[in-house]
Amino acid sequence: MKLKKQDIILICGLLAGSLLFGSALALGRTDGDTVIVRISGETIAEFSQSRNTEYRIEGANGGMNALVIQDGEVWLEDASCPDQLCVHQGHIRHAGESIICLPNEVVVAIEGKTEGSAAPDIVAS
């Protein structure tokens, strides 16, 4: 199969668009400053992301998760859940990222610095 000129232009355009979109996403990410731990939707602990910490989370139904905050990165080192998906998720560091352990009903989320008001930019009716 031979590529036509239009095919090459289309492929180059799609690649350029993908690179621009990926760059915009990467540049728009900000490091967080607060780690929030929630169990069953209720906030139980808050930590500074800049301070190295180890914390044992007593989750729902007697479950356990071991939270580690080190060098600005956050991860769950150990968990009592059978599938260990929350442990295998790896490290997070940017505002808006989270680690979720469904069996223990634990959510570890990173929140960023709030600049200005928290009011929405646009309201749709």
pLDDT tens-place string over residues 45-98: 999 999 999 999 998 888 999 999 999 999 999 999 999 999 999 999 999 899
Sign of CA dihedral 84, 76, 25, 34: positive
- Of residues 75 and 20, more confidence is placed in 75
* pLDDT, position 84: 93
User: Helix or strand or coil: residue 78?
Assistant: strand
Closest listed residue to residue 59, CA positions, set 77, 90, 75, 37: 37
Closest listed residue to residue 42, CA positions, set 113, 106, 98: 106
- Of residues 48 and 26, more confidence is placed in 48
* pLDDT, position 117: 43
CB 97 within 8 A of CB 112: no
